[in-house]
Amino acid sequence: MNKKTVRDVDLQNKRVLLRADYNVPVQNGVITDDYRIKQSLPTVQYILEQPGTSLVIISHLGRPEGHPDKENSLEPAAEALGELLGKPVRLVPDCVGDAVKQATGELKPGEVLLLENLRFHSEEEANSSDFAKAIIEAAGAQIFVQDGFGVVHRAHASTDAIAKLLPSVAGLLLEKEVEAIAGAMQDPTKPLMTIVGGAKITDKIDILNRFIDIADCVAIGGAMANNFLAAEGIKVGKSLVEQEALEMTQEVMQKAKQTETKRPFSFLVPVDVVVSGKMDGTAPTRVIDLSNHALADIEAYPKKPEPSAFEIGDGEMILDIGPVSAGIIAGAVKMSKTVIWNGAMGVTETKGLAGAHNPFAYGTRVIVDAMIGTSRQHQNRPFTLVGGGDTVGYVEQEGLVEEFSHVSTGGGASLELMAGRSLPGVEVLEDK
């Protein structure tokens, strides 16, 4: 991290404008996951500890169409932040204009204001310099702190234009995120293993190529793995496949095979899968052995198994990796010193019926246990970095955030950083 942070500048008696990422899930006005808000607290508290300093926070929520709507109001975030800080956090009903000027004019040292959703104005995503000036003027801001890691891969008014108009530095969360992710990518303790899941290969093609370059082992899971199976000529039934990306998938596989001939490297694609006729968990599941058909042979003995025993039916879809694949990946995890995990192995959000375990979360759970150790006294735990919104959501839902070395708050931003791309919202900050 070669950018100045809040620790490198004098904040005393200043009005600080903080860009946080409070884009959190809200249902019926209630936040269902406050991880991003909690992760912003060290920066918020550090700023408020400086004598005479007052704080104005800006953020976005959801994807409003450039105009106010109640569903995407930051009011729940203001309430949650106030509870976490133990002091009132007032929400101002806009982020520019006279109402903001009046509210910030009354702001005393040690007090916090949260301005309403930036994306209620289309100028935010258009990276409008005039909009950035209007925010600064309304807030009375003297210094800008960028701490919204989840948005720094975008050049918006609150990540780019605003930082060109004020002295601008990084917050503590942004510093922590960049150092953890860049460190794991550029100077990991070896062996380095990367586990990549999720739905679309097109979203992750760049990090897959980068991982093949730098990792000792790359394991593939989630719906993305269907593309690799289809590219190998395996029938995948009605599984999700990105047909337009099959050629791209074959190129990745070719690169992986070439890497395996040049140095010690493993590229793991599922050898068995869990299939079902429905994704909602209401239909039976079965394990299909795609490689040597050992499961089918054992179950059918002494008869020869029917082809249907080891082939995915036209009406079935792959919804998780199988137990053998999970065991292979877990074994590789145990041999690694650094593990980067992005994307679940199956449809972990499908709930089990009648008290049964979630039917498509077994693969993910086996691998998580290998990463963090089921005993919690695992002496050889690797350094574990978790990135990607859905993966982080799963880790939080299971109450395991503290068990991992670093759980990122940024989905797209962490992918961009892993792929080796520069982040506009970081590049624009002042150098050390």
Q: Check 62, 237, 277, 412 and give the catalytic one.
A: 412
Nearest Cα to Cα of residue 333 among 215, 203, 167 = 215
Please report the sign of the dihedral spanned by the C-alpha atoms of residue 146, residue 148, residue 153, residue 155. Answer: negative
Confirm whether 36 is a catalytic residue.
Answer: yes
Q: Which of 346, 389, 393, 411 is catalytic?
A: 389
Of 226, 202, 151, 193, nearest to 413 by C-alpha is 151
SS (H, E, C) 351-408: CCCCCCCCCCCHHHHHHHHHHHCCCCCCCCCCEEEEECHHHHHHHHHCCCHHHCCEEC
CA–CA separation, 168 vs 173, rounded Å? 15
Nearest to 321 by CA among 153, 197, 173: 197
CA–CA dist 214, 195 (Å, integer): 13
Asked if 110 and 16 touch (Cβ cutoff 8 Å), the reply is no
Q: Does 200 participate in catalysis according to the annotation?
A: yes
d(CA 120, CA 129) in angstroms, rounded, equals 16
Instruction: Locate 177 and state its tokens.
Output: 């995120």
Sign of CA dihedral 296, 298, 299, 302: positive
Asked if residue 159 lies in contact with residue 148, where contact means CB atoms within 8 angstroms, the answer is yes
Active-site pick, 15, 36, 119, 381: 36
Segment holding 170, helix H or strand E: strand 168-170
Return the number of other C-beta atoms located less than 10 Å from residue 11's C-beta: 22
Q: Which of 4, 133, 200, 255 is catalytic?
A: 200
The question of whether 262 is a catalytic residue gets the answer no
Cα gap 117→137, rounded to integer Å: 17
**Which residues participate in catalysis according to the annotation?**
36, 200, 389, 412
